[in-house]
């Protein structure tokens, strides 16, 4: 209902109150000017009809033109202002949507991956167009209709009354009809989302689809979504096609009725030609103005639906407080009796106690599904324990904002997502390092040759440049190492590298991170050798920890893992 | 701004795929023509009314019959106009919707059958933006704006015709002023064409940025890049807003200018009319009707002038969509249906380079016998994945041949190729659906037993066993990130479940702990005994278990050794 969408839109509209008031004022002036222009026609036509001298008509004409030019200036400036206001409001809305997408911890609040995109370009465009048209075209309507009704009342009270009734009837009728369309518009937008994300999915899965010859299967899947969308579109057409021209037809019928009754009503008095002509001018103006009403009413349900969607998408994520860091401790990570239950209901971490001292190089490893990924997520505050306390540099992850934790902990996985932009941006998106430092870090891990061989070096555009698995891996490592953090976590970070490159990168990492806390979450024997402490995780618990040689001799499961891992 | 020019150009590109739209629209255009004739006669009717009323004052008696007759004519005209226009509108809408549905089907087909190289040259963000933004614009074009432009132009021409018929001299005096409107509109719309181009590009930029935020969300959160990405987005946001304001302000000048021009025409016509009335060359009723026509013609001229802008932008969208629909489809080979292949693979002097890059493979040749387990290893960027891509016929070699069972794969149907080869890519693709659907995909002949057997090999049942809905758990690629190992297992189960004659694993086992990796590999060997397996990996532990290792270096084969069993 209207109140909901106003709530969604009002924070965006509020800052522009003054400008909007200004535009409305200008438009009111414009409406008056238009009525003046029409009234000027009366003496022109009157004089022409009575065959007055052409010079007089020309004089009147020049005044009319002057008024028209003034009117033109008024609506041009109103139009430009309306455009600026509506575009700025739309820009603010876009920023709101993006901000909230970035603030949310994950995108689970979105129904489909393309939901926010459709919102950004589709819904916001609808609202922008609506605000623009309201300020530019629809704003003078009430004033115009009021002035015209007044003039009609002056000519003939009954006619004026019927006119006002006609305006009210048409508006009511179209409003009622269009409100019944709201749910249809909503359903249509939802199915459009499904359609868009279905198509987008096929783009990311292009290779697999071709490898499996899945084109026919994808077609079947797609036609279901396509059909639903088409059906909603048809339904909307069937339920609304008679609305737009309705008021025009109604008004013409009304006018014919008026002329008929005026003719029948005649009781011998002399009706001056100009008042009738004036009335005719007004009637054409009225027809043009009132034909806008249905369009306005048709767009209202769309606006309502779009405003709701925008409000939903810009809903901010949870606001955490900022906790103080307890620097007196010796531990980068400390967890006591931590348990974690994942979103599928499985207890993936059970009674875990782990303490990683500051400044050490450690490794966590274990069989797949043993809880290593979940542990890393807990350290990075992507999840919080279901019970127990998890502290990173003394900060309780359940009580402070994740951003705080991630300021001090940098992570590199085995894959880096490429951002649109150049290589420099991809290596250092926050822009905190100069080129010299960037190249120094890349040289340490063995990435600098690749960069030197590029024609544009750090300015190379990454969006159209496919990287091999190993180059991509190096980018991830560099991006992580270029951050000024207190702890660095490497999860499967050497997977795409051959042994020489991996050893080289490891040496670089150890050199660059000297004095900081380093944690490896992978199965390489040489990172194990470089680690001061190994944590062997199995079944969601820390089974044993110690140095590599200690564990190899004490724990058979550990030895088995490394027995197979000998290169 | 001739109609013919626009009529021909707009719909012609569609003719190739969807038939002669122009011809199908013709009956509705004709009907609209007739109904617009009806509409344009109504002011004439009112004019007759008026002259009757005015003449009544000069003579006695009231011609009731005439008034009733002419009222009925008026009412009938209005009803005829409303019914036919609304009907035409609905039919055109339905036609447009049908065509849009077909376009969507074709878009889907092209995305799934285009050659991989062509698809990769377009960024995913750009493609998605075409679906999200350009497709709705095409729908508006066909269903609304094309007809609006046509009927607007038609109506103005018709009114002009009626004016000429009613009084050629007066019409001439009006026409003299018309060029002013047209010329000014033309100049303005030429300038706004460029604005539209920029606006379109900026909108696509915004789409791409949002798409990136969705794909890279986890990475953005991991490195606290929220403000950096927001800043990046603001650049596109600002540019788009500027472009929109520019183009709207510019095209917002048209209505006021048209208004001035129309009033100019009005005055000139009034002067000429006055002269003619004075000289008895014109009767009052005609004159009054004419003044109404002058007012009326303003509307349609304005509509056509503003619709041209929208049309321009929509034609750009149409071209972007047709670019994809007109893209070539990957060539298919022909072979005996459902032939089975033993699994002998031959690469003969194969050279290959990606579109504009340096050559990646410099004439490599090797042979794999049926039932062999061959590892392809080498440093990053040496061409391993390229070999897999060529074998799966994602691309064609620049020179040389790829053969299966001594048949060039160009002569093997893609269907047979996809049935024969099961593959797991480096980036596993999970689509929206259940885990079961992701495994079975398009092979409905896979039984529950096949599924169970495959899961036992990969160990997937251990991961899904704890899920409350087991294999029927819903999964998705983008929104909630699944752990990589999970995705890899699903993809591997997918490949094995089809019992392919050739199995390709491209770094598929990396990321798994050594124990799991060995278990899977042993299971694979047993299941695929007698069938060919190709493992792409630089992991020596894995490759040492193959029958033979092909080592690549910089696009050449360095070595083809039997693996050392001692290792």
Per-residue pLDDT reduced to its tens digit, B116-135:
888 887 777 778 778 777 88
Q: Contacts from A355-359 at CB under 8 Å and sequence distance 24+?
A: A355/A331, A356/A331, A356/A332, A356/A517, A356/A519, A356/A533, A356/A535, A357/A330, A357/A331, A357/A332, A357/A517, A358/A330, A358/A331, A358/A332, A358/A393, A358/A486, A358/A517, A359/A332, A359/A515, A359/A516, A359/A517
Exposed, middle or buried, A404 (CB in 10 Å: 0-12/13-18/19+)? buried
**Tokens for A536?**
């062997």
Same fold, A2-313 and A331-565: no
Q: Report residue A218's pLDDT band, with 50, 70 and 90 as the boundaries.
A: very high
% chain B with pLDDT above 70? 90
Tokens at residue A5, please? 């969408």
pLDDT tops 50 at residue A5: no
Q: Which of B222, B414, B442 sits opposite A406 (nearest CB)?
A: B222
Residues of B in contact with A102 (CB under 8 A): 213, 220, 226, 229-230
How many other β-carbons are positioned within 10 Å of the β-carbon of residue A184?
17
Q: By mean pLDDT, which of A393-407, B450-464, B475-489 is the weakest?
A: B475-489
Q: What is the dihedral of CA A121, A127, A129, A134, to 10 degrees?
A: -170
What is the C-alpha radius of gyration for chain A, rounded to an integer number of angstroms?
36
Distances (CA, A) of B356 to A278, A450, A453, B401: 71, 18, 16, 21
pLDDT at B565: 46
Taking the Cβ of residue B558 and every Cβ of chain A, the question of whether any pair is shorter than 8 Å is answered with no
- Is the predicted pLDDT of residue B563 greater than 70, yes or no? no
Q: Which of A400, A414, A422 is nearest to A477 (CA)?
A: A414
Question: How far, in Å, are A508, B177, B248 from residue B180 at the CA level?
Answer: 73, 6, 21
β pairing state of B502-506 and B548-553: unpaired
Domain with CATH 3.40.50.300 in chain B: 345-562
Structural fold of domain A331-565 = Rossmann fold (3.40.50)
SS (HEC) of B77-97: HHHHHHHHHHHHHHHHHHHHH
- The pLDDT value recorded for residue B196 is 75
Q: For position A92, what pLDDT does the model report?
A: 93
More confident residue, B137 or B260: B137
Higher pLDDT, A111 or A99: A99
Contact A205 B431 (CB under 8 A): yes
Give the pLDDT band of residue A50 (cuts 50, 70, 90): low
Are B24 and B145 in contact, with CB atoms under 8 Å apart? no
Range with top average pLDDT, A216-230, B172-186, B464-478: A216-230
The CA distance from A142 to the nearest CA of chain B, in Å, is: 19
- The neighbouring-strand residues paired with A365 are A536
Q: Is the pLDDT of residue B514 over 50?
A: yes
Chain B residue closest in CA terms to A67? B260
For chain B positions 34-53, those within 8 Å of chain A (CB to CB) are 42-43, 45-46, 49-50, 52-53
Rounded mean pLDDT, A334-340: 88
Cβ atoms of B390 and B350 closer than 8 Å: yes
Greater confidence (A371 vs A512) lies with A512
End-to-end CA distance of chain A: 67
Task: From chain B, pick out residues whose CB is under 8 angstroms from the CB of A465.
Answer: none
pLDDT band at A494 (very low <50, low <70, confident <90, very high): confident
Would you say domain B3-325 falls under CATH 1.20.1560.10?
yes
**CA dist., res. B417 & res. B208, Å (int):** 34
Q: What's the rounded mean pLDDT across residues B206-234?
A: 90
Using pLDDT thresholds of 50, 70 and 90, give the confidence band for residue B4. Answer: very low
Longest Cα pair distance anywhere in chain A, in angstroms?
Answer: 122
CATH code at A2-313: 1.20.1560.10
Residues B364-390 have a mean pLDDT of: 87
Least confident of A172-176, A556-560, B200-204: A556-560
pLDDT digits (tens, 9 = 90+) for A73-89: 888 899 899 999 999 99
> CA-CA distance, A446 to A501, in Å (whole number)?
7
Number of Cβ within 10 Å of residue B337's Cβ equals 8
Give the model's pLDDT for residue B228: 93
Burial of A10 (0-12, 13-18, 19+ CB in 10 A): exposed
Mean pLDDT across chain A: 83
pLDDT for B364 beyond 60: yes
> Between the CA of residue A462 and those of A86, A406, A451, B67, what are the distances in Å?
34, 26, 12, 77
* Nearest Cα to Cα of residue A15 among A88, A94, A79: A88
pLDDT one-digit tens code per residue, B302-354: 677 667 777 877 888 888 898 888 888 888 877 776 677 888 999 999 999 88
B52 pLDDT higher than 70: no
* Residue to substitute from A243, A419, A453, A482, interface B, most B β-carbons within 10 A: A419
Which residue from A75, A122, A252 is facing B255, i.e. has the nearest CB?
Answer: A75
pLDDT confidence bin for A224, thresholds 50/70/90: very high
Quick one: how far is CA A55 from the chain centroid? 62
Q: Looking at residue B3, what is its pLDDT?
A: 39
**In the 3-class helix/strand/coil scheme, how is A142-162 assigned residue by residue?**
HHHHHHHHHHHHHHCHHHHHH
- Residue B306: the pLDDT is 67
Cα three-residue angle B417-B422-B426, rounded to 5 degrees: 120
More reliable by pLDDT, B67 or B435: B435
For residue A477, the model assigns a pLDDT of 94
Question: What number is the ipTM of this complex?
Answer: 0.85
Residue B226 and residue A214: Cβ atoms within 8 Å? no
| Closest by Cβ to A51, choosing from B277, B394, B432 | B277
- pLDDT at A566 exceeding the cut of 50: no
Cα–Cα distance, A155 to A161 (Å, whole number):
11
Point out which residues pair with A412 in neighbouring strands. A490
Nearest C-alpha neighbor of A535 from the set A379, A363, A358, A380: A363
pLDDT at A83: 92
Per-residue confidence band for B1, with pLDDT thresholds at 50, 70 and 90 = very low
d(CA A148, CA B175): 29
**Are A461 and A437 in contact, with CB atoms under 8 Å apart?**
no
- Give the closest residue to A391 by CA, choosing from A485, A326, A483: A326
Cβ neighbours for B301, distance < 8 A, ≥ 6 positions apart: B152, B156, B178, B181, B258, B262
H or E, element range at A258: helix A246-265
Domain ranges within chain A, ordered by starting residue = 2-313, 331-565
> Which CATH code fits B345-562?
3.40.50.300
Q: Which residue of A has its CA nearest to B425?
A: A208
Nearest to B170 by CA among B83, B246, B276, B86: B276
Q: Which three-class secondary structure string do you get for A353-376? A: EEEEECCCEEEEECCCCCCHHHHH
Q: How far apart are CA A502 and CA A259, in angstroms?
A: 92
CA nearest to B177, candidates B250, B267, B244: B267
CB contact under 8 A, A497 and B392: no
Q: Give the CB-side neighbour count of residue B20, counting CA atoms within 13 A.
A: 6
- Asked if the C-beta of B474 comes within 8 angstroms of chain A's C-beta atoms, the answer is no
Number of Cβ within 10 Å of residue B338's Cβ equals 9
Whether A252 and B78 lie within 8 Å, measured CB to CB: yes
Residue A430: closest C-alpha in chain B: B228
On chain A, the residues whose CB falls within 8 A of the CB of B218 are 106, 417
Beta-strand pair A487-491/A517-521: parallel
| A260 to B49: CB separation less than 8 angstroms, yes or no | yes
Tell me: pLDDT of A117 over 90.
no
Residue from B380, B342, B329, B292 nearest B48 by CA:
B292
Using pLDDT thresholds of 50, 70 and 90, give the confidence band for residue A461: confident
pLDDT digits (tens, 9 = 90+) for A12-44: 888 999 999 999 999 999 888 888 887 777 777
Mean pLDDT of chain B: 81
Which residue of B lies nearest to A197 if distances are taken between CA atoms?
A: B128
Token readout for B247 is 């183009």
- Where does B279-383 have alpha helices with state H? 284-325
Q: Beta-strand (E) ranges in A266-396?
A: 331-341, 347-357, 361-365, 387-392, 395-396
Distance CA B520, CA B529 (A): 14
- Is pLDDT at B74 greater than 80 in this prediction? yes
The tokens describing A24, both together, are 């409305």
B543 three-class SS:
helix
Q: Which of A263, A269, A406 sits opposite B49 (nearest CB)?
A: A263
- Per-residue pLDDT of A236-255, as tens digits, reads 888 888 887 887 788 788 77
Look at residue A3 and tell me whether its pLDDT is greater than 50. Answer: no
Q: What pLDDT is recorded for position A410?
A: 95
Distances (CA, A) of B151 to A208, A317, B91, B146, B186: 48, 50, 15, 9, 19
Number of DSSP helices (H) and strands (E) in chain B, helices first: 21, 12
Return the higher-pLDDT residue of A272 and A226.
A226
The reply to whether A211 touches chain B by the CB within 8 Å rule is yes
3-state secondary structure of A399: coil
Contact B89, A245 (CB under 8 A): yes
Q: What is the arithmetic mean of pLDDT over B13-31?
A: 78
% of residues, chain A, pLDDT over 70: 88
Q: For the segment A531-553, what is each residue's pLDDT rounded down to a tens digit?
A: 888 888 887 788 778 877 777 77
Taking CB atoms and an 8 Å cutoff, what residues of chain B touch A208? 425, 429, 491
At residue B567, the pLDDT reads: 35
Cα radius of gyration rounded to whole Å, chain B: 35
């Amino acid at each position: 209902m209207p109140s909901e969408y106003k709530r969604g839109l009002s924070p965006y509209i509020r800052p522009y109150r003054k400008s909007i008031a200004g535009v409305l004022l200008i438009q009111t002036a414009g409406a008056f000017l238009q009525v003046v222009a029409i009234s000027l026609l009366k003496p022109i036509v009157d004089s022409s009809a009575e065959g007055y001298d052409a010079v007089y008509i020309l004089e009147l004409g020049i005044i009319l033109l002057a008024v028209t030019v003034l009117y033109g200036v008024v609506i041009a400036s109103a139009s430009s202002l309306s455009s600026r206001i509506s575009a700025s409001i739309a820009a603010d809305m876009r920023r709101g949507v993006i901000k909230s997408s970035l603030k949310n911890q994950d995108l689970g609040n979105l129904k489909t991956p393309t939901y926010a995109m459709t919102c950004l370009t589709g819904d916001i465009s609808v609202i922008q167009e609506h605000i623009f048209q309201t300020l530019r075209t629809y704003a003078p309507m009430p004033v115009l209709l009021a002035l015209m009704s007044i003039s009609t009342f002056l000519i003939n009270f009954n006619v004026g009354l019927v006119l006002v009734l006609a305006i009210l009837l048409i508006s009511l009728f179209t409003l009622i009809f269009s409100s019944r369309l709201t749910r249809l518009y909503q359903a249509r937008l939802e199915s459009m989302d499904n359609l868009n994300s279905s198509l987008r999915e096929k783009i990311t899965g292009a290779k697999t689809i071709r490898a499996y010859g899945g084109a026919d299967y994808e077609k079947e899947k797609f036609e279901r979504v396509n059909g639903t969308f088409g059906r909603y579109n048809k339904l909307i057409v069937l339920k609304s096609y008679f609305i737009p021209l309705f008021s025009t037809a109604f008004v013409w019928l009304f006018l014919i009725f008026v002329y008929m009754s005026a003719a029948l009503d005649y009781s011998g008095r002399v009706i001056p030609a100009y008042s009738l002509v004036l009335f005719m001018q007004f009637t054409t103006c009225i027809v043009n103005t009132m034909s806008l009403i249905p369009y306005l009413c048709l767009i209202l349900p769309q606006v309502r639906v779009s405003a709701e969607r925008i409000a939903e998408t810009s809903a901010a994520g949870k606001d955490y407080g900022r906790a103080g860091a307890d620097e007196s401790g010796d531990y980068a990570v400390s967890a006591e009796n931590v348990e974690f239950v994942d979103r599928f209901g499985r207890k993936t971490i059970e009674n875990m106690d782990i303490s990683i001292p500051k400044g050490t190089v450690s490794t966590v490893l274990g069989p797949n599904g043993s809880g290593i990924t979940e542990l890393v997520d807990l350290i990075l505050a992507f999840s919080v324990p279901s019970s127990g306390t998890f502290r990173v540099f003394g900060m309780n992850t359940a009580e402070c904002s994740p951003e705080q934790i991630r300021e001090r902990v940098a992570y590199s996985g085995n894959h880096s997502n490429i951002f649109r932009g150049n290589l420099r941006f991809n290596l250092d998106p926050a822009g905190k390092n100069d080129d010299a430092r960037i190249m120094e870090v890349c040289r340490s891990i063995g990435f600098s040759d690749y960069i030197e061989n590029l024609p544009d070096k750090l300015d190379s555009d990454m969006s159209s440049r496919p990287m091999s698995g190993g180059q991509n891996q190096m980018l991830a490592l560099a991006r992580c190492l270029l951050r000024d953090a207190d702890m660095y976590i490497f999860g499967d970070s050497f997977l795409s590298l051959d042994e020489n490159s991996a050893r080289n990168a490891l040496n670089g990492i150890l050199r660059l991170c000297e004095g900081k806390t380093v944690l490896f979450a992978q199965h390489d024997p040489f990172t194990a050798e470089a680690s001061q402490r190994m944590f062997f995780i199995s079944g969601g618990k820390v089974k044993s920890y110690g140095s590599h040689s200690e564990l190899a001799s004490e724990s058979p499961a550990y030895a088995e893992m490394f027995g197979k891992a000998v290169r | 701004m001739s109609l013919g020019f626009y009529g021909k150009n707009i719909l012609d590109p569609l003719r190739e795929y969807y038939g002669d739209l122009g011809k199908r629209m013709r009956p509705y255009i004709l009907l609209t023509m007739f109904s617009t004739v009806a509409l344009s006669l109504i002011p004439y009717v009112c004019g007759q009314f008026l002259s009757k009323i005015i003449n009544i004052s000069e003579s006695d008696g009231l011609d009731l019959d005439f008034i009733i007759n002419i009222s009925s004519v008026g009412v009938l005209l209005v009803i005829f106009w409303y019914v036919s226009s609304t009907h035409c509108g609905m039919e055109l809408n339905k036609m447009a919707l049908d065509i849009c549905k077909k376009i969507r089907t074709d878009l889907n087909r092209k995305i799934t059958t285009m050659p991989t190289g062509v698809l990769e040259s377009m960024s995913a963000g750009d493609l998605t933006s075409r679906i999200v933004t350009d497709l709705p614009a095409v729908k508006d074009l066909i269903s609304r704006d094309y007809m609006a432009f046509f009927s607007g132009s038609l109506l103005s021409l018709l009114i002009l015709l009626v004016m000429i018929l009613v009084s050629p001299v007066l019409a001439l005096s009006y026409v003299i002023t018309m060029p002013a409107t047209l010329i000014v509109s033309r100049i303005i719309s030429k300038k706004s064409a460029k604005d539209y181009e920029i606006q379109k590009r900026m909108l696509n930029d915004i789409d791409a940025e949002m798409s990136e935020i969705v794909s890279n969300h986890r990475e953005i959160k991991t490195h606290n890049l929220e403000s950096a990405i927001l800043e990046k987005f603001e650049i596109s946001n600002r540019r788009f807003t500027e472009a929109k304001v520019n183009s709207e302000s510019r095209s917002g000048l048209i209505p006021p200018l048209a208004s001035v021009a129309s009033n100019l025409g009005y005055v000139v016509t009034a002067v000429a009319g006055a002269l003619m009335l004075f000289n008895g060359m014109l009767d009052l009723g005609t004159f009054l009707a004419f003044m109404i026509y002058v007012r009326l013609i303003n509307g349609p001229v304005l509509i056509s002038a503003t619709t041209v802008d929208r049309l321009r932008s929509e034609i750009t969208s149409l071209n972007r969509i047709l670019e994809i629909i007109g893209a070539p489809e990957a060539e298919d080979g022909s072979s005996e249906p459902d032939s089975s292949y033993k699994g002998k693979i031959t690469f003969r002097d194969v050279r290959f380079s990606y579109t504009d890059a340096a050559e990646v493979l410099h004439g490599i040749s090797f042979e794999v016998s049926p039932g062999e387990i061959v590892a392809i290893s080498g440093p990053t960027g040496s061409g391993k994945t390229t070999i897999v891509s060529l074998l799966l016929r994602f691309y064609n070699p620049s020179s040389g041949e790829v053969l299966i069972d001594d048949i060039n794969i160009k002569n093997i149907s893609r269907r047979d190729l996809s049935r024969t080869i099961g593959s797991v890519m480096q980036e596993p693709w999970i689509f929206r659906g259940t885990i079961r659907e992701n495994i079975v995909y398009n092979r409905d002949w896979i039984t529950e037993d096949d599924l169970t057997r495959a899961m036992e090999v990969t160990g997937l049942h251990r991961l899904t066993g704890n899920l409350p809905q087991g294999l029927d758990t819903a999964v998705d690629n983008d929104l909630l990130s699944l752990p990589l190992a999970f995705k890899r297992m699903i993809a591997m189960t997918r490949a094995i479940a089809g019992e392919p004659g050739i199995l390709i694993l491209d770094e598929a086992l990396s990321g798994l702990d050594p124990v799991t990796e060995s278990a899977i590999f042993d299971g694979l060997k047993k299941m695929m005994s007698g069938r060919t397996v190709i493992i792409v990996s630089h992991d020596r532990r894995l490759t040492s278990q193959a029958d033979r290792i092909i080592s690549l270096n910089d696009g050449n084969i360095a070595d083809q050794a039997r693996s050392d069993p001692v290792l």
